[in-house]
Structure 1
Amino acid sequence: MKRTHPEEWRTRFASREIALRDFGQQEGGANAVTFLASPRASYVTGIVLLVDDGMRRYSF
């Protein structure tokens, strides 16, 4: 993936704005979708699932 900002900027942004202090990977979203589509999630009937890797610092 092509980075649009230098690594130093990304590190500062992550430490300031992301609760987990790091950018997530695409696999995080894919894992959530895979779980919800699997039989293991058969008891899940409704949910709001934020897969934002900690980007949402404030409650909505």
Structure 2
Amino acid sequence: MPPSFADPLPAAPRPAWLRLADLLIAVLLVLAIALVTSFLGVNSAQAASTQSAPSAQPLEAA
């Protein structure tokens, strides 16, 4: 009788080093996303401050 693909073999447990590698990749991915978003936030704040600075007129004392 040919093997049935409806009943796959049970998955072997993953080695500890592979689980640690997955955890390390997840942590690095989160740190990379946080770094990129904070960098973009700083750039947009700087762009907003440099764009609004020339249009702001100083108040003159009467």
Same fold (TM over 0.5): no
**Superposition TM-score, scaled by structure 1 size:** 0.30
Asked which structure has the greater RCO (Cα within 8 Å, sep 6+), the reply is 1
Larger Rg: 2
User: Normalized against structure 2, the TM-score is what?
Assistant: 0.29
